[in-house]
Each structure stands twice: as C-alpha cells, then as structure tokens.
Amino acid sequence: MKMSKGQIGRRLLGLAVAGTALVSGGTAFAAQPQPWEVTLQPAASPVMENIVWFHNFLFVLITLITLFVLALLVVVVMKFNAKTNPVPSKTTHNTLIEVAWTLIPVLILVGIAVPSFRLLFLQLDIPKADLTVKATGKQWYWSYSYPDNGKFEFDSLMAADKQPRLLGVDNEMVVPVNKVIRVQTTGADVIHAFAVPSFGIKIDAVPGRLNETWFKAEREGVYYGQCSELCGKDHAFMPIAVRVVKEADFNAWVEQAKKKFARDDSSPVAVAAKDAKAETR
Ligand SMILES: [Cu+2]
C-alpha cells in the first residue's frame, strides 16, 4: 500500500492524538476498543490490573535488554572490524565475564518467573464466589443463566442497530459491582471462547465440558468482549456485553429477568409439550 506524504502525516497525527488521549484520558473510562488504541484496554478487575502491570514490567525489561544488546553490537562493529583492529586479540576465556553472562540472565528469568506464577495462580485459583453465571456459546450467540438466582436463561444476540457497532447486544449479561463472579463456560455446538479484555478473562467454551474462570468488576459500566475461538461463519458477530451495576440494581434486574426469561414448566406451552411427549410414549 502506497501512502502519500499527506496520508502519512495524517496517520502520524492520528497516532499522536490517540497517544495523548490515552495518557490524559484517565478519567474517561472506556471498556471497549478505541480508535488507534495500541495499549491494552483499561483494567476493571484485579486480574487485569496484574496483567497490565506484568505487561508493562516485561516491556521495560525487554526494551532495556534489546538496547543493551544493540549497544554491544555497535561497539563490536565499530571497534573490532578488520580496518580499525588489524591484529585481533587471541583471548579465549574470561571466567568473570562467563559467570556474569550465565548468572545475570538466570536472575532476570527468576525475576520474570516469580510475578508470572503469582499472576497464573491469581487467575486459576478461583476465590469464593458471590455469584455464578453460566455462559453457553452457541452458533452464533451467547446464552446466560444464573444458577444461584433462579431458573432463567436468556439469549444475548448482537443488535445491529446498537452502539458500539458489532459489540452491542439485545440482552446484556448483568452482574453486581465489587462481587466475585464465577463464570462457567460451555459450548452447545462447537468450541467458542468467552473473552472480556477489561476483566482479563479468556476461556474456551467447549461442548461437553464446563470450564471456570472468575472476575471482580471494580467499576460500574458496560464492558465488551468477543468470542475468541474461530467457530464458524458468524464468529465475528457474537459479542459479549457485560453490564456492571450496583447490587440493589442487580437484585431488581434479577426479579425482572426471572419473569421475562422464565423457564416456566407450568406454562400452557410447556404443559402441552409435556402432554404431547407423554402421548407418543
Ligand atoms: Cu463463537
């Protein structure tokens, strides 16, 4: 792709604007992808805060290592080429330097391993949950049920007329703020994956299996994610929208959802279906 000077200038300007917006926009909380976003989505759960910290830590570390190696290469190229150094040294061993270049990388790796394992345990060791939500991946939408809160289940389909585009859904998953939510995932047909970047969760939804993860949303708002396992033709159109609300609002929503999405076994339709089943036996 060829770009004119003007186009390149505009792109660079866009990047700069996005950069300053990210740095200065601490208060405007965004739980969805932003134009020109080059960083992780803002964290809204303890796990994601740790992921962001670990990412930044590694970024600083690899930058320093890369610059150090680059500096060594430059020194070698400048000082030890055949022209400036016609009679090379015959040195073959240097105990001190060999111990150093073995030990220092080992220490660096240990320094990475410790926070890495701590993060892994934080993600995998699910704390005592206040609430369980079961998300079932289907071709091509999600269904949510709340086993602790009653017998209801509802489908969450992408709503073409809703913003943000390709992320808005008709029925959002609703959870209370500052509560430990256990998320159980399974697939009804093929493998899907339940992922919400701001919570730092991404877990496969596999048919015949029940996977578990958790999050604790620390701020109210709507958080968006997407199916993250190629699952078929509408893989890109089965977004995840999680609305985080105050506990009282959540309880009110549950009462309303119980009625709206009831799996009522005594409804005329259900009774008729049961009768029909009995007759065929
Ligand atoms: Cu899917």
pLDDT tens, position by position, 42-52: 999 999 999 99
Rounded percentage of the chain residues whose pLDDT exceeds 70: 83
Q: How confident is the model at residue 21 (pLDDT cuts 50, 70, 90)?
A: very low
Q: What pLDDT, on the 0 to 100 scale, is given for residue 25? A: 38
Interval 152-170 mean pLDDT:
93
* CATH for the stretch 131-260: 2.60.40.420
Residue 30 Cα to ligand 1 middle (Å) = 24
User: Are the C-beta atoms of 167 and 32 separated by less than 8 Å?
Assistant: yes
Residue 134 Cα to ligand 1 middle (Å) = 15
pTM flag (> 0.95)? no
Rounded percentage of the chain residues whose pLDDT exceeds 90: 75
Q: How confident is the model at residue 260 (pLDDT cuts 50, 70, 90)?
A: very high
First-to-last alpha carbon distance for the chain, in angstroms, is 67
User: Are the C-beta atoms of 115 and 57 separated by less than 8 Å?
Assistant: yes
Q: What pLDDT, on the 0 to 100 scale, is given for residue 95? A: 95
- Compute the distance between CA of residue 172 and CA of residue 97 in angstroms, rounded to an integer: 60
Q: Which sequence spans correspond to the domains of the chain? A: 46-85+93-124, 131-260
Q: How confident is the model at residue 138 (pLDDT cuts 50, 70, 90)?
A: very high
Residue 230 Cα to ligand 1 middle (Å) = 6
Residue 140 Cα to ligand 1 middle (Å) = 6
Is residue 250 classed exposed, middle or buried when 0-12, 13-18 and 19+ CB atoms within 10 A define those classes?
Answer: buried
Residue 190 Cα to ligand 1 middle (Å) = 8
- Compute the distance between CA of residue 30 and CA of residue 132 in angstroms, rounded to an integer: 25
Lowest-confidence region among 36-40, 67-71, 107-111, 201-205 = 36-40
Q: Are strands 221-227 and 239-245 parallel, antiparallel or unpaired?
A: antiparallel
- Compute the distance between CA of residue 202 and CA of residue 169 in angstroms, rounded to an integer: 19
Residue 219 pLDDT > 70, yes or no?
A: yes
